[in-house]
Amino acid sequence: MSRTDAGSQLRDRGGVTRVPNGFTLVELVAVLLLMGILAATATSRLVSGNAFAPALVSQQIVAIGRLAQQTAQSRRDATVSLDVDQSGTDWRIRVLVDDGSTTTAVADERTSSRNTGVTVTNGGAPIALGPTAALHVVFDGMGGVVGGSVAAAPLNPTVGIAIAAMGDSTADVCIGTTGHVYRGVCT
């Protein structure tokens, strides 16, 4: 093929003149770049970090709850508890070990409470946790739930403890009567 003028037409070997159709590589790259920028902007506006906040809180409760159960099994000489409360702008999730003379925090994790509310249900109406309402779950030496309280109301250890972290999404956690902590709804 040979060019006949400044670039608008091409002539093939048979002498037929045609106008090129299609896009140049530079044009395609420019369009893809603009589409990428628009997609990144739209995605950040549609899916904010707030959508993942309840999942993060529930994962922290599961991890620290399992640690509390394992600590109770290994420290049969002490009372081990899982505490969840709101401290300032954070959810505070702790494992406390009371050996009769001192109470020690074995784990003390914090995660942002921004856009996340936590409720606890134990056979009755849900109770919202907050600065003045905490969850306190006590484990026995076998790792089972033996008692505790939520917002000063006693927990029933024969019923699972349902915890819901709510915000732009909802994430459920269950502490079963055997002390096993898992993500999901109590059955």
Model confidence over 82-126: pLDDT tens digits? 999 998 889 999 999 999 999 999 999 998 888 899 999 998 899
- pLDDT for residue 187 is more than 90: no
Q: Report pLDDT digits (tens) over 159-174.
A: 999 999 999 889 999 9
What is the pLDDT at residue 123?
Answer: 87
Sequence ranges of the domains in the chain: 2-46, 50-183
Cα 137 to Cα 135: distance, rounded to the nearest angstrom: 7
Sign (positive or negative) of CA dihedral 149, 163, 115, 89: positive
Q: Rounded to the nearest 5°, which phi and psi values hold at 49?
A: -65, -20
What is the pLDDT at residue 120?
Answer: 96
| Percent of the chain predicted with pLDDT > 70 | 86
Residue 3 binned pLDDT confidence (cut-offs 50, 70, 90): very low
What is the pLDDT at residue 38?
Answer: 87
Please state the CATH superfamily assignment of the domain spanning residues 50-183 in this structure.
minor pseudopilin epsh domain (3.55.40.10)
Query: What pairs with residue 93 in β-bridges?
Result: 84, 109
Cα 40 to Cα 47: distance, rounded to the nearest angstrom: 11
What is the pLDDT at residue 81?
Answer: 96
Which string of DSSP letters, residue by residue, matches 13-38?
A: TTS-EE---S--HHHHHHHHHHHHHH
Amino acid identity of residue 187, one-letter, is T
What is the pLDDT at residue 184?
Answer: 94
